[in-house]
Amino acid sequence: QVQLQESGPGLVKPSQTLSLTCSVSGASMSSGGFYWSWVRHLPGKGLEWIGHMFYGGSTDYNPSLESRVAISAGTSKNQFSLKLNSVTAADTALYFCARKRPNDAFDLWGQGTFVTVSS
């Protein structure tokens, strides 16, 4: 059974970089042609797609965040990471990693990790 799990600091100071890791278990990220994604749930607002990576290949980002975001393979096999720089309080959110099928839905999600941006 494939599972995803987010990890990283729960508190980040304004202007610094938010860094999260998603660990994938039960299957190899390099197979299946999936897009490995990050989505956030902003308090009192909705869900926002941040971006995704195709293992060993391309990335695609939400234009609203593109200047500040990077998604890449993690330092360990079967992990991928999110970096969001120059954060503000508006980046406080529940961050999910998810697997997306090509031309299709986000079919597997992690439980999410809440990140607060505050001094």
Give contact residues for another protein (rule: CB under 8 A).
4, 41, 46-49, 60, 62-64, 96, 98, 100-101, 103-112
Residue 43 CB, nearest approach to another protein (Å): 12
Going along the chain, which residue ranges are E strands?
3-7, 11-12, 18-25, 35-41, 47-54, 59-61, 69-73, 79-84, 93-100, 106-109, 113-117
| Residue placing its CB nearer to another protein in the complex, 35 or 55 | 35
Residue 47 CB, nearest approach to another protein (Å): 4
119 vs 116: CA distance, rounded Å: 10
Residue 48 CB, nearest approach to another protein (Å): 7
| Residue placing its CB nearer to another protein in the complex, 75 or 104 | 104
Please state whether beta strands 35-41 and 93-100 pair in parallel, antiparallel, or not at all (unpaired).
antiparallel
| Residue placing its CB nearer to another protein in the complex, 65 or 73 | 65
Residue 105 CB, nearest approach to another protein (Å): 4
